[in-house]
Amino acid sequence: MINLDQYLVERFIVYLDRAKGYSVNTQRAYQSDLNELVAYLTEHGIESTDQLEIEAIRDWLYSVSEAGAAKSTVARKSASVRAFTSWLERQGWLGSDPGLRLKTPKSSRTLPKVVSREVLSDVFGKLESAAETQSAEKLLDLLVVELLYATGMRVSELVGINLADIDYSRHLILVTGKGDKQRMVPFGQPAAVALERWIRHGRPKLQRETSDDALLLNSRGQRLGVRVAYGIVATILAQTPMGAAGPHALRHSAATHLLDGGADLRAVQELLGHSSLGTTQIYTHVSVERLKQGYQTAHPRA
């Protein structure tokens, strides 16, 4: 028997970090879910592991669902609990694992937002025009959008790039993804031009003595953060017909446009850093939907 409290959750998070190598964002999600569970259990008089039963966990998940949480949120919390109870059993603090009897609700998968080629062409035209001023801010805007779309990388991967990670001669960038897994991603000539202009004219204006090896810097000469990078993309896309969207829309667009152009599904999987091919296959559905919409609009007998 051991107390069910936030300290126990913290010990589990340390395990996820050291033994599993989970990303900081994943660790935070687990910690938030499990702290919420512990608070619920404490409120209902369950304060030690020997009192933890499947019914209490189901009651908590039901309360989460009744509060309006999406199926995907409930599914994520269920996964957090299963990982936690499995760890508790392996530590000898549970006689049996109640998480094995916990079913995950099926979440309805929605197709990701994709920015059309026409909209992106207009976006890049405006960004390139603004970058002609050699303003560090405008050069940064252009490079952020270029790299996200050219490589399909996550925004967290983008801000983690160091100068030493770039192979200029082969147009490749070493990125570090989820679980500290590294992969090489290619980029095209437009991104190479934006990169060269940033390195030559933009970054030196922001660099300070305290600046590290980060490729992208903010106005204080520090590594660009995820929130700022997100804000750059969101502000730009909000001015398009697509409306509000974040950096992931560029990742979705890169994958969809590659498949539309005939790229191999496994090659796209490698580019995006997906561990499962099933995750990448969502983009084939996007391509099919776009094909159907085009057919219904253009074919005389649709």
Give every strand in the sheet of 166-167, ordered side by side. Answer: 166-167, 172-176, 182-186
For 103-112, 153-162, 176-185, 243-252, which range has the lowest pLDDT when averaged over its residues? 103-112
Flag whether 110 is in a domain: no
Q: In a 10 Å sphere around its CB, with 0-12 CB exposed, 13-18 middle and 19+ buried, how is residue 104 labelled?
A: middle
Residue type, 262: G
Flag whether 284 is in a domain: yes
In this structure, the answer to whether residues 161 and 212 fall within a common structural domain is: yes
Flag whether 109 is in a domain: no
DSSP classification of residue 20: I
Enumerate residues 6+ apart whose C-beta is below 8 A from 239: none
In this structure, the answer to whether residues 94 and 158 fall within a common structural domain is: no
Asked if residue 2 has pLDDT above 80, the reply is: yes
Spatial distance between the Cα atoms of 195 and 162, rounded to a whole number of angstroms:
13
In this structure, the answer to whether residues 162 and 227 fall within a common structural domain is: yes
The domain in which residue 26 lies consists of: 6-101
Flag whether 75 is in a domain: yes
Flag whether 107 is in a domain: no
pTM for this entry: 0.65
Flag whether 199 is in a domain: yes
Residue-wise pLDDT for 25-51, tens only, equals 899 999 999 999 999 999 999 999 999
pLDDT of residue 287: 62
Q: How many domains does the chain have?
A: 2
Backbone CA torsion sign across 67, 112, 284, 263: negative
Asked if residue 109 has pLDDT above 60, the reply is: no
Asked if residue 218 has pLDDT above 80, the reply is: yes
Spatial distance between the Cα atoms of 255 and 220, rounded to a whole number of angstroms:
33
Residues serving a catalytic function are 154, 178, 248, 251, 274, 283
Flag whether 1 is in a domain: no
CATH for 198:
1.10.443.10
